[in-house]
Amino acid sequence: MLLALLLAAFLALGWLALSRPTVGRGGSERAGGEAGGSGAGAVALAQSGLPEAFSAASVDGAVRSALERKKAVHKGVYLSALGAANPAIYDATIRLVARTELDAVVIDVKEDGTVYFDAQDPFVRSVGAVRPVLKDLPEKLAALKKAGVYTIARIVVFKDPGLARSHPEWAIQDARGGVWRDRTGQAWMDAYNVETWRYNVAIAEEAAKLGFDEIQFDYVRFPSDGRIEDARYPDAQGRTRVEAITGFLKAARAALAPLGVAVSADIFGLIPTAADDQFIGQHWEEVTASLDYVSPMLYPSHYAPRTFGLPNPNAAPAATVAHSMQDAIRRTVAWGAFTRPWLQDFSLYGVHYTPDMVRAEIDAAEANGATGWLLWNAANCYKPDALKPDPDAPPLPRFGDASTCSAEVRAALAAH
């Protein structure tokens, strides 16, 4: 009876999603400017050679699988490729994981158009973007798995100057001529282009085969800054932005399913609250129906003044995270992705983040339905005093405001 009710709800929600127009910034309903998106999207997906997830024939199986799967709670930190390749940074981070409540690490395998491991896939290598900074990645993954550490491969998808150099015809085009670029001069790939989908899925498949437990897609969206009005999408074929992003996520999830890895994506922090796709193709209901885990970036520093009625969300980490998580959980269907947010362990815009403020984010996330959480610091500097100690590990001294980038913290982490 429960399965029948869930299946009926799934079909009803699917009809509502298909009948609801996707309206973005400025009231623009379509990114491609043409109607008939559903049929064109199905044709493009079929031509891509990537299987379609959640087809009508597999709805029952998808619901049953979601009901049977276990909710895995993981608490992790981010490691850049350079950080993972640096013995001092890597060792301090992994020792922090071993001595605290942390049990997961997110490692960059593709960012800024560069593939950071020695990928062997011929298609991937043909692009010329492989720079194997992570030379001992298979050995690291094996050691982490033995230690019980959950590993997540982060792949930046559509912001990709490396692929744009090799295949400018797959990139977003500029109405004034050439490849479109954002305000920092970076090229983005056309999110409708199925060859770009293939490229990123090929990287994900190889990362999974190396031993990662999960594939996490980032920048799985349309650009949000620069001369957006000049961006042109030759491969849109009448599809909406939301159809492009969820189409890629579903295809990638289906392609990776035989490898047994979880699939997740990083989402703008305002998406759980926004009614539309914020002009970037991320709409909460569609995204959460396409993944195993979703990680909204709930960095309080990134919210505008008066969001949630807070004068300065950056100075109110607990309230900001709580409001966002409440919106996320309220809008996620029973079989949708588990919400595992990114939280802020860095300081920005004049507000210094102390260990107590980071802890306030964590507590707010956990109290409002989060299935684990991830801490972000671009420099890989994390504050041990924000974390609960592992009761089975040797106790750590109190470090106050110091982070893993401080010599005294590294020395203490290295001690038995």
Strands (E) in 44-181, as ranges, are: 74-79, 104-111, 114-115, 150-156, 173-174
pLDDT tens digits, one per residue of 301-350: 999 999 999 999 999 999 999 999 999 999 998 889 999 999 999 999 99
Arithmetic mean of pLDDT over the chain: 87
Backbone angles phi, psi at 87, to 5 degrees: -55, -40
Q: How confident is the model at residue 61 (pLDDT cuts 50, 70, 90)?
A: very low
- Picking from 245, 329, 251, the residue whose alpha carbon sits closest to that of residue 287 is 245
Let me know if 229 is exposed, middle or buried by CB neighbors in 10 A (0-12, 13-18, 19+).
exposed
Lowest mean pLDDT of 31-45, 270-284, 352-366, 377-391, name the range. 31-45
> According to the model, what pLDDT value does residue 151 have?
98
Asked if residue 187 is part of any domain, the answer here is yes
Number of domains in the chain: 1
Asked if residue 247 is part of any domain, the answer here is yes
- State the average pLDDT over residues 22-26: 26
pLDDT tens digits, one per residue of 199-258: 999 999 999 999 999 999 999 999 999 999 999 999 999 999 999 999 999 999 999 999
pLDDT tens digits, one per residue of 133-166: 999 999 999 999 999 999 999 999 999 999 999 9
How far is it, in rounded angstroms, from Cα 232 to Cα 58? 35
- Picking from 256, 234, 157, 246, the residue whose alpha carbon sits closest to that of residue 197 is 157
> According to the model, what pLDDT value does residue 415 have?
87
How far is it, in rounded angstroms, from Cα 154 to Cα 215? 6
Q: How confident is the model at residue 18 (pLDDT cuts 50, 70, 90)?
A: very low
Using the predicted structure, report yes or no on whether residue 272 has a pLDDT greater than 70.
yes
Tell me which H or E stretch contains 376. strand 372-376
Using the predicted structure, report yes or no on whether residue 80 has a pLDDT greater than 90.
yes
Residue 403 falls in which region: left (phi positive, over 0), alpha (psi -120 to 50) or beta:
beta
Task: Quote helix, strand, coil % in the chain, to nearest 5.
Answer: 45, 15, 40
Asked if residue 147 is part of any domain, the answer here is yes
- Please report, rounded to a whole number, the percentage of residues in the chain having pLDDT higher than 90: 81
- Please report, rounded to a whole number, the percentage of residues in the chain having pLDDT higher than 70: 83
- Output the CA torsion sign for 237, 243, 248, 253: negative
Would you tell me the crossing angle of helices 37-48 and 241-256 to the nearest 10 degrees? 30
pTM of the full predicted structure? 0.86
> According to the model, what pLDDT value does residue 387 have?
98
Using the predicted structure, report yes or no on whether residue 83 has a pLDDT greater than 50.
yes
Asked if residue 131 is part of any domain, the answer here is yes
How far is it, in rounded angstroms, from Cα 49 to Cα 241? 21
Structural domain of 199: 2-20+34-414
Query: Hunting for tokens 């020792």 — which residue is that?
Result: 95
pLDDT tens digits, one per residue of 342-384: 999 999 999 999 999 999 999 999 999 999 999 999 999 999 9
Q: Collapsing DSSP states into helix, strand and coil, what is residue 400?
A: coil
Asked if residue 285 is part of any domain, the answer here is yes
- State the average pLDDT over residues 31-37: 29
Question: Within the chain, how many helices (H) and strands (E) appear?
Answer: 14, 12
Asked if residue 375 is part of any domain, the answer here is yes
Higher pLDDT pick, 353 / 28 = 353
We report the CATH number of the domain holding residue 244 as 3.20.20.80
> According to the model, what pLDDT value does residue 50 have?
58
| Residues facing residue 338 across a β-bridge | 293
The CA-to-CA distance between both ends of the chain, in Å, stands at 54
| Residues facing residue 293 across a β-bridge | 264, 338
- Picking from 104, 187, 53, the residue whose alpha carbon sits closest to that of residue 382 is 104
Asked if residue 26 is part of any domain, the answer here is no
> According to the model, what pLDDT value does residue 71 have?
79
Q: Are 238 and 30 in contact (CB under 8 A)?
A: yes
Q: Residues, the chain, total?
A: 416
For 179-236, give the secondary structure using H, E and C.
Answer: ECECCCCCEEECCCCHHHHHHHHHHHHHHHHHCCCEEEEECCCCCCCCCHHHEECCCC
Asked if residue 233 is part of any domain, the answer here is yes
Using the predicted structure, report yes or no on whether residue 296 has a pLDDT greater than 90.
yes
